[in-house]
Structure 1
C-alpha cells in the first residue's frame, strides 16, 4: 500500500507477490525459490527506474509578516457586464476581491501566471446568461476538469439561465457545480458563490488512523502542499484522546486495525452528538465491495482504495468539507 501512495503500482504488485511467498507456512517449492530472487530484482529495478511525481510546491504565505489573511478572491469568467458590475460591487462591500476575464482562454492564462494570494478562491463562469451566444460546452468542461485536477481546493460554479439536467450532470462529472440563475437576484448569486469559499491557504486539520507506520510517515509530506495538516495515529486505543486534543476537520480511517477496526470507530463517532457530522473517509488497500458497503452502512462519507495520489486524496477531503459547509448554511 505504501508503494501505491507514490504511484508505484507495478512495484506494489510485485511486493505483494513476494509477501505471499514469504508468508507460506511450508517450505517453498524449487520453482518458487527460483522465482523469489527474480521478483526481488524486478522490484528493485522498478523502484529505481521510477521518477516520483513531485506535488506542487506549497504556497508561500505573503501575508504572514503582516499577520493577516488575504481577502477571498472571485474569478469572474464570461459573465454579462451588468452581472459582473453588480457582483463586483457586492463583493467589495462584503470583503471579497474580484478579477474579471472575458473568456475561458483568459481564465487559463490567469491561473497559469497567478501566484499565492492572487489565485482565486472560487471561479464563476457564465453559460449562455441573457444572450444567444455562449462559450462551447467542450471548452467549458475541459476547463472545469483542468481546475479540478490542478487546483482541487478551488471551486468552479457555472451560472446558467437554462436548467438542463444533462448539462448539470456533465458539469458535476467534470468537477464543477451548477447554479440556475433564472429568477435569482444578484445577492442570491453572490451568496451561492461565497458558500463555496474556503481560503486556499487555510490549513485543514486531518486525522489519519492506520496501523501501517511506513504509510503514516509518508503522508504528511505528501499532503502538506495541498493545505492539509495531518495528525497520524497507529494505535486505535489512543483514538479518543488524540481526537479530543486535535479537533480535526476530517478523519481518514483504515478498515483492519488491531484491537479496534475502522468500522467500530466510525460507529462511535456517528453516535456522538458532537462528532456525528465529522467527515469520515475510509482509505484502505483492500478493494472489497463488501467492506465498502459496510463502511457506508456505519456512516462513512467516502471509501477510497490505495494507491491514491496526494492531489486526489486532498480533493476528496476538501469536497466533503465543502458539502458540510454548504449544508450548514441557512
Structure 2
C-alpha cells in the first residue's frame, strides 16, 4: 500500500518513512502543502499523514481541500498542537485520526495499520474492473462468474492492481506490497507471477495483456485507452476505421518527417558557413538514415531514394568536400516530394494493398471471376486474374503473390501437376481451391498437391474472399513476433501492414529495455534494425547467440543498409534473414512465415523441416 507523508521536518519524516518501508509500505514524502497536493493529484494513496504547521498551505487547509475534491483515503494529522480545540478542528476538517508530537513510532505505525484495515472494511466489499470482480472478504476473484484459481501472491497482485487501476507499479513496489513481513524475493519472482496471472486470464477468456507491461517502469491494468487503440488496429481492415488509422499514422509521421528534414536543412546551412559542427553532422546523418528507411513504408518511394542519396553524402568522412549545391538540391527535392504528394491516398495505397491475390480460372467464368476480383479489391487486396496456367506462372514470377485462389472444374492431371509444382517451388504460399462437387478422392488429390483449403462451387464471392483472409490470419495467428526499431513511425507502419496475417506483434523502440521485453514476450521470431542508439542490432544479435536459451531464435534483420559488408556482418553474427527498407507488409510477412516454417518441424504432415538457405 502507498502512504504520503507531508511534513517540513525532513529528518523526522525520513525516520518514519524508513519504519514504514520496513513494514513493506510504499512511501512518498512532500515537504510542504502545495507539493503534498500535487502528489495527491498525481498518485493514488491509501493513506495521508499530515503535519498542521506547513509552509504555504497548512495541514488543515490541505485536509479540507482533499475532502472537498472527493478523495476518501484516511488522513492522519501529526502535529505538536495538543489543545482540545485543535483536535476538534483537525477532526472536523476531515481527518480520521490525530496524533500529537512527540510520539511513539510503534504506536503511530499501529494507528496507521488500523486506519488502513478500517479503509478496507468500510470500502465497497466488491472491486469491479471490466469482467473481473474481487471480493476482499472471501479473497476470491471471478471472471464473468467463473472463479479464478489464484495463488495467494497472484491474488495479492490483482487486488493491488484493482485498487489502483491507473497506477504503474514497479517490481520493487509490488514486492513491497505483496511480500510485506517476508524475506523479499528478486524481481524475477514478480515476472513469474505476472506470467501466471496472464495465463489464467487468457484461459478465462480475458486478453492476455490485461496486465500491461510499461517497459522500463513496471505493470498496470490495461486501460480503456489501451483497449481502444488495440481495437483500432485489430479492426483496421474495416474501410472507414482503416482510413482513420492511416490518417493518424501519417499525421504522427508527418511531423517527425519534417523535423528530420529541418535537421538536413540545418546541415546544409552549416556546410556553407564551415566548418560543420560535428553534432549537426551526426544529427543530419541520423535523420537521413531514418527518412531513407521509413519514407518508402509510407508511400514515398522517391523520397526514400533521395534520403538515401543524402545519407551517402553525409557518410563521407571528409564532409568538407561535399558539394553544398548538390546537398541543397537534394533537400529541396525531398521537401517537394513530401509537400506535394497526395499523402493520404498514397499511404492508403501503400498500406491497404498489403495482400496480393492471384485468381486462377481456366474456364474463365468472366462474371464469377470479376465478382471475386471486385470483392478482393473491396478488402484492400491487390488482385490478379489468370485464365490459364501459363498466365498464372508468369504473374507469380513477376509479382509478389501472397495467396492463390484456384477455381478447378475438373481436377485433371494438368491442374494437379501445376499445384504440385507451385507447392514445391513456393511451399509457403497458401492455396485455396474452389472445386465443383469434389468427391473424397478428388479432395485427397487436391490436398496432397499442397492445397490448404477446399471450397465447394458455387460459393459466394464474398465468402471465398473471407476464407482467403481467414487462411492468411490463421497462418500467423500462433506466432509471436517482436520488432525492435528506434523509429516509432516505422513500427506503427509495420504494425498496420502486418495486421492481416494475424501475428501476435510486440514493437519496441528502445534497445535498453530489449532484454526485459524479450523475456516477457518470449517471441517465436525477432525482427531487428541495424542502426540504433545505445545498443545496435548487430550487438544484440551477438548477445542472443551467446545465450543458450536464444541460440535457435530466428532473427530477421530489417535495415536501410543495403551494402554487402553490413549484410555479411549480420549473417556472420547469427542472422537468419536480411531485408532492406523500405519493405511492403506482404513481403515481410511471407519472409517471417517462411523463417518460422524452417525453424520448426511441420506437425501432422510427416514432412521434415525445410533446410535453411
- TM-score band, normalised by shorter chain: 0.5 to 0.7
Contact 1:209–1:253 (Cα < 8 Å) also in 2: yes
Distance change (3 Å), C-alpha of 1:319 and 1:108:
farther
**Hey, what does 1:279 align to over in structure 2?**
554
Which of the numbers 581, 589, 593 marks the counterpart of 1:318?
593
Aligned equivalents of 1:40, 1:102: Cα separation in 2: 53
Which of the two has greater helix per residue?
Answer: 2
Alignment partner of 1:112 is 2:373: yes
Aligned equivalents of 1:11, 1:266: Cα separation in 2: 30
**Secondary structure of residue in 1 paired with 2:586:** helix
**Secondary structure of residue in 1 paired with 2:574:** coil
Q: CA deviation at 1:311?
A: 2.4
Contact 1:141–1:170 (Cα < 8 Å) also in 2: no
Alignment partner of 1:293 is 2:550: no
Aligned equivalents of 1:115, 1:243: Cα separation in 2: 37
Distance change (3 Å), C-alpha of 1:141 and 1:20:
closer
Distance change (3 Å), C-alpha of 1:229 and 1:108:
farther
**Hey, what does 2:517 align to over in structure 1?**
242
Q: CA deviation at 1:42?
A: 1.4
**Hey, what does 2:294 align to over in structure 1?**
2
Q: Following superposition of structure 1 onto structure 2, how do residues 72-87 of structure 1 map, counting pairs within 5 Å? A: none
**Hey, what does 2:538 align to over in structure 1?**
263
Alignment RMSD, CA only?
Answer: 5.0
Contact 1:206–1:229 (Cα < 8 Å) also in 2: yes
Aligned equivalents of 2:425, 2:442: Cα separation in 1: 23
Which of the numbers 507, 510, 528 marks the counterpart of 1:232?
507
Aligned equivalents of 2:546, 2:452: Cα separation in 1: 31
**Secondary structure of residue in 1 paired with 2:332:** helix
Contact 1:285–1:307 (Cα < 8 Å) also in 2: yes
Greater RCO between the two (CA within 8 Å, min separation 6)? 1
Contact 1:147–1:154 (Cα < 8 Å) also in 2: no
Q: CA deviation at 1:313?
A: 1.7
Distance change (3 Å), C-alpha of 1:291 and 1:111:
farther
Alignment partner of 1:172 is 2:425: yes
Alignment partner of 1:138 is 2:390: yes
Aligned equivalents of 1:76, 1:13: Cα separation in 2: 33
**Secondary structure of residue in 2 paired with 1:206:** strand
Alignment partner of 1:56 is 2:352: yes
Distance change (3 Å), C-alpha of 1:201 and 1:243:
same
Q: CA deviation at 1:136?
A: 5.2
Q: CA deviation at 1:226?
A: 4.3
Q: Deviations over 1:128-180 (max 9, x none)?
A: xxxxxxx954123146468853xx26698x9997999xx948972798599xx
**Hey, what does 1:200 align to over in structure 2?**
472
Q: CA deviation at 1:303?
A: 0.9
Contact 1:141–1:174 (Cα < 8 Å) also in 2: no
Which of the numbers 303, 317, 323 marks the counterpart of 2:578?
303
Contact 2:298–2:350 (Cα < 8 Å) also in 1: no
Report the TM-score when normalising by structure 1: 0.58
Contact 1:279–1:321 (Cα < 8 Å) also in 2: yes
Which of the numbers 327, 332, 335 marks the counterpart of 1:41?
332
Contact 1:280–1:301 (Cα < 8 Å) also in 2: yes
Q: Which has the larger radius of gyration?
A: 2
Aligned equivalents of 1:9, 1:58: Cα separation in 2: 16
Aligned equivalents of 2:442, 2:548: Cα separation in 1: 37
Aligned equivalents of 1:238, 1:170: Cα separation in 2: 41
Q: Deviations over 1:43-66 (max 9, x none)?
A: 12122343422433799xxxxxxx
Contact 2:430–2:452 (Cα < 8 Å) also in 1: no
**Secondary structure of residue in 1 paired with 2:592:** helix
Aligned equivalents of 1:20, 1:327: Cα separation in 2: 44
Contact 1:280–1:302 (Cα < 8 Å) also in 2: yes
Alignment partner of 1:15 is 2:307: yes
Report the TM-score when normalising by structure 2: 0.35
Aligned equivalents of 1:108, 1:323: Cα separation in 2: 34
Alignment coverage as a number of residue pairs: 268
**Secondary structure of residue in 1 paired with 2:392:** helix
Aligned equivalents of 1:8, 1:171: Cα separation in 2: 36
Distance change (3 Å), C-alpha of 1:22 and 1:193:
closer
Q: CA deviation at 1:34?
A: 4.4
Distance change (3 Å), C-alpha of 1:112 and 1:20:
closer
Distance change (3 Å), C-alpha of 1:41 and 1:258:
closer
Q: Deviations over 1:182-201 (max 9, x none)?
A: xx997586365459x98423
**Secondary structure of residue in 2 paired with 1:201:** helix
Q: CA deviation at 1:273?
A: 5.7
